[in-house]
Each structure stands twice: as C-alpha cells, then as structure tokens.
C-alpha cells in the first residue's frame, strides 16, 4: 500500500513541501525561476500593477515552477529506473525540459506584454 494515499491534508501538504524543499536545494534552475518570480513581484509592486497583471504574472510563474518540479521528478524517476543512457529515456527527459521551456516562454510573453502596457 502506498504510504501517501489516504493521509490527512496536513500530511499530504508536508509531502508536497518536502518536494518543494528538495527541488530548491537540488535544482539551480528552480532557484533561478524563484528569483525571477521575486523580481516580477517587485516590478508589480513598484509599478502598482492592476489585479489582472498580478493574476497573469502569478499564474505564469506558477506554471513555470510546476513545470520545473515535474521535470525534476521525471528526471529523478527516469534515473532511478534506468540509470544507463537510453534513447527512450533521453526523449522523456527532453520532453520534460521542453515543457519547462514552453512555460518559461509563456511567462516571458506575459512580462513583455506588461512592459508594453506600462511603457
């Protein structure tokens, strides 16, 4: 039986926070994305952005962070299950990395749209 199934909300939240903490410790790219989020929040505060811009930036940032964490999870799982090089595993990892790229480009587009709006 899976030890994570049918646990209390607080236990499941704790598992999620452990995963986030691991990602922040282990992944430079996740720490960089969090730094970009902090910078974006600062820009929104300085420019007194409307609620819609807050929503767009936070939603885009959440998508990037979620993609980074899923990429990390997929890479770790693939490495555990298949530690030697494999063309199939390479494709899985590359697709997960591409998901991060697409989410990041979407977030960049939101940032550009905000800059065009305020300038």
Domain assignment present for residue 45? The answer is yes
pLDDT in tens, 36-54: 999 999 999 999 999 999 9
Q: What is the mean pLDDT of residues 53-67?
A: 98
pLDDT in tens, 13-35: 999 999 999 999 999 999 999 99
Provide the domain count of the chain. 1
Q: What is the mean pLDDT of the chain?
A: 95
Q: Please, which residues have CB within 8 angstroms of residue 1's CB and are 6 or more apart in sequence?
A: none
- What CATH number did the domain enclosing 107 receive? 1.10.287.3610
- For residue 71, the tally of other CB atoms under 10 A from its CB is 23
Residue 30 belongs to domain spanning: 9-118
Domain assignment present for residue 2? The answer is no
Describe the chain by its helix, strand, coil percentages, rounded to 5. Answer: 85, 0, 15
State CA 36 to chain mean position distance: 11
pLDDT for the residue 102: 98
> What CA–CA distance (Å, rounded) separates 107 from 22?
23
Instruction: State yes or no: pLDDT of 5 exceeds 80.
Output: no
């Amino acid at each position: 039986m899976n030890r994570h199934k049918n646990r209390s909300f607080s236990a499941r939240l704790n598992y999620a926070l452990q995963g986030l903490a691991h990602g922040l410790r282990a992944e430079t790219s996740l720490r960089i994305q969090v730094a970009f989020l902090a910078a974006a929040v600062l820009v929104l505060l300085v420019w007194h952005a409307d609620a819609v811009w807050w929503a767009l930036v936070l939603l885009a940032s959440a998508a990037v962070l979620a993609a980074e964490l899923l990429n990390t999870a997929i890479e770790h799982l693939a490495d555990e299950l298949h530690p030697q090089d494999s063309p199939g595993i390479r494709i899985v990892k590359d697709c997960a990395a591409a998901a991060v790229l697409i989410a990041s480009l979407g977030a960049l587009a939101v940032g550009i749209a905000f800059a065009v709006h305020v300038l």
